[in-house]
Amino acid sequence: MTSFQKRVFSGVQPTGTLHLGNYLGAIKNFVELQKEFECIYCVVDQHAITVEQNPKELRSNTLEVLASFIAAGVDYKKQIIFQQSSVAEHSQLAWVFNCVSRIGWLNRMTQFKDKAGKNRENVSVGLMVYPNLMAADILAYLATHVPVGDDQKQHLELSRDIAQKFNNDFKVDFFPLPEPLIYGNATRVMSLRDGTKKMSKSDASELSRILLTDSDDDISSKIRKAKSDSDLIPEDKDQLQNKHECLNLINILSACLDQSIEKTLAGYAGKEYSKLKNDLADTLIQVVGPVRKEIRNLLDNKDELNKILQVGSEKASTIAGPIIKEVYKIVGFR
Ligand code: AQP
C-alpha cells in the first residue's frame, strides 16, 4: 500500500457572499490546518455553474471568495489558492471519473435530490455529476484530507468510492482514499429563520444568514430577529434536541468561543433568549468585524487579487499536471 504525502484540499463555490456556515464549518478549519499540512484551497467556479449564474456576478464573487479566504487568515504565500476553471486538469480528471462513477451512486446523493427537487428532468447534467468533479478536484492533487461542513460528507464518501473503484478497475494503488475532516461545534450551522434547514447562500431570506460582509448593525438586527421560542433556555443538552433554533444559537456561540456546548449552555440555562442573543451578537461582531474590514481592503485592489489567482493556478498546475499524465497512461490514453 502506497503511503501518500499528507495534503489538504478544499473548495468553496463563488455562488454569493460567504456566510457564517461557510466560515465556521469550513474556512476557520482551513486556517487551522495550515499549521500542520500543505494546503490547496480552490474557488470552485465550475461547480457554481451547475445552477444558473450571472457571468458578471460570478467573476466578482470569485474575487470575493478569494478575499474571504485571505481575510480569514489563509496564507496565500505559503499555501496555494486558485480558481478551478484556470486549471484544466480538473475537467480532464472529471471526465475519467464520469466513466468510473456509477449512475446509481449519483442517484443516492441527497444534495442532488434537494437541489433538483421536483424539477429533476430539467436540472443540468452538471448538477448530477457535481460529485464526480468534486472527486477530481481532490484527487488531481492526490489530496489525503478534506475539511468540509457536514453537508459534504456524502460527497466525500463518493470521492473515496471513486478512488477505490479506479484503483481496483486498473489494478493500481494510485489514488489515496481522501478523509473528510468534519469537526468543531459548527459542522452544520442552521438557518436563523428555520433551525431545521442549513444556513445557505441560496436561501431566499437574507435574515436566514450572517454574511462575512455584514455590518455590526446587520449582525445585531439579524440575531435579534432570529427565530426562538417563548420558553426559558433549557438546562441540559438533551432538552435541546427538539429546540432546533435554540440549539443552533448555542452551537454558533460555542464555535465562536471555541468551547463545549455544555459550557455555553451552563451560562444561559433558565434565562431568557434576550441575554443569549445580546451576547451572541457581540461575539459575532468581534469575529466577523475584522474579517469584513479585511475583505473590503482586499477588494479595493482587484489587480492584486487577480495576480494571486494567477500565481496560485500556476502552482496548482505544476502539481496536477504530472498526476493527470499518469492517470492518462493508466487508462490507456497514451
Ligand atoms: N450551513 C453550513 N454549516 C456548516 N458548513 C457549511 N458549508 C456550507 N454551508 C454550511 C460548508 O462550506 C463549504 C463551502 O460550501 P459551498 O459554498 O461550496 O457549497 P454549499 O455547501 O452548497 O454552501 P451553500 O452556502 O449552501 O451554497 P449554495 O446555496 O450556493 O448551495 C463546504 O465545506 C460546506 O460544507
pLDDT 10s digits, 10-63: 999 999 999 999 999 999 999 999 999 999 999 999 999 999 999 999 999 999
User: Does 310 lie in the same domain as 288?
Assistant: no
User: Does 30 lie in the same domain as 136?
Assistant: yes
Collapsing DSSP states into helix, strand and coil, what is residue 30? helix
Residue 194 in domain: no
Q: What angle, rounded to 10 degrees, do the helices at 273-299 and 216-225 form?
A: 150
| pTM for the whole structure | 0.95
User: Does 244 lie in the same domain as 102?
Assistant: no
User: Does 159 lie in the same domain as 229?
Assistant: no
CA atoms within 13 A on the CB side of 222: 23
User: Does 307 lie in the same domain as 242?
Assistant: no
User: Does 126 lie in the same domain as 34?
Assistant: yes
Our CA angle for 313, 92, 30, nearest 5°, is 45
240: pLDDT strictly greater than 90: no
User: Does 129 lie in the same domain as 242?
Assistant: no
| Sole residue written with cell 484544466 | 88
pLDDT 10s digits, 195-238: 999 999 989 999 999 999 999 999 999 999 999 988 889 988 88
258: pLDDT strictly greater than 90: yes
What is the number of the ligand 1 atom nearest to the C-alpha of 199?
1
329: pLDDT strictly greater than 80: yes
Our CA angle for 33, 36, 39, nearest 5°, is 55
Per the structure, the count of domains in the chain is 2
Residue 252 in domain: yes
Other C-beta atoms within 10 Å of 301: how many? 11
Residue 220 CA to ligand 1 centre (angstroms): 23
pLDDT value for 242 = 87
**Span 254-283, average pLDDT:** 94
Domain that holds residue 24: 7-187+302-331
Residue 164 CA to ligand 1 centre (angstroms): 26
Q: Which residue's CA is the closest to the ligand 1 atom numbered 8? A: 22
Residue 136 in domain: yes
Residue 287 CA to ligand 1 centre (angstroms): 19
70, 76 contact by CB (below 8 A): yes
Other C-beta atoms within 10 Å of 227: how many? 17
Residue 128 in domain: yes
Strand (E) or helix (H) holding 133: helix 125-139
User: Does 213 lie in the same domain as 82?
Assistant: no
Q: Confidence band (pLDDT; 50, 70, 90) for 1?
A: low
Listed residue (14, 67, 18) closest to 214, CA to CA: 18
pLDDT value for 118 = 85
Collapsing DSSP states into helix, strand and coil, what is residue 211? strand
User: Does 268 lie in the same domain as 176?
Assistant: no
Residue 198 in domain: no
β-strands 38-43, 80-83: how paired? Answer: parallel
For ligand 1, residues with CB inside 6 Å are 12-13, 15, 21-22, 25-26, 148-149, 151-152, 186-189, 198-202
Radius of gyration of the chain (CA): 21
* CATH number, domain containing residue 284: 1.10.240.10
Residue 319 in domain: yes
Strands (E), the chain: 7-12, 38-43, 80-83, 145-147, 179-181
**Span 320-329, average pLDDT:** 98
pLDDT value for 39 = 98
Residue 200 in domain: no
Mean pLDDT, rounded, of the chain = 96
User: Does 179 lie in the same domain as 60?
Assistant: yes
The active-site residue, picked from 28, 56, 113, 115, is: 115
User: Does 218 lie in the same domain as 176?
Assistant: no
User: Does 101 lie in the same domain as 216?
Assistant: no
198 a catalytic residue: yes
Q: Which residue's CA is the closest to the ligand 1 atom numbered 26? A: 200
Tell me the C-alpha distance between 12 and 137, whole Å: 11
97, 132 contact by CB (below 8 A): yes
* CATH number, domain containing residue 167: 3.40.50.620
Tell me the C-alpha distance between 100 and 90, whole Å: 15
**Span 247-253, average pLDDT:** 96
What is the number of the ligand 1 atom nearest to the C-alpha of 152?
35
Collapsing DSSP states into helix, strand and coil, what is residue 321? helix
Residue 162 in domain: yes
Rounded-to-10 torsion of CA 271, 273, 279, 280:
140
